[in-house]
Amino acid sequence: MFQIPLYYRIIFCLIRIYVSERIRLDVLFFDI
């Protein structure tokens, strides 16, 4: 069974948080 290294999972989580924050900011700017 393939095991994903821990740092890959950490980087993936950080990217997801960054993208979600960018999308939230873009939505806020579009609403104004």
**pLDDT at residue 22, rounded to an integer:** 86
pTM over 0.85: no
Residue 1's pLDDT is: 60
Residues 6+ apart with CB under 8 A from 24: none
Q: Tell me the residue length of the chain.
A: 32
Indicate the domain borders of the chain: 1-32
pLDDT digits 0-9 by tens, 1-32 = 678 789 999 999 999 999 988 888 777 777 65
Exposure of 18 by Cβ count < 10 A (0-12 exposed, 13-18 middle, 19+ buried)? exposed
Q: How many CB atoms lie within 10 A of CB 7?
A: 8
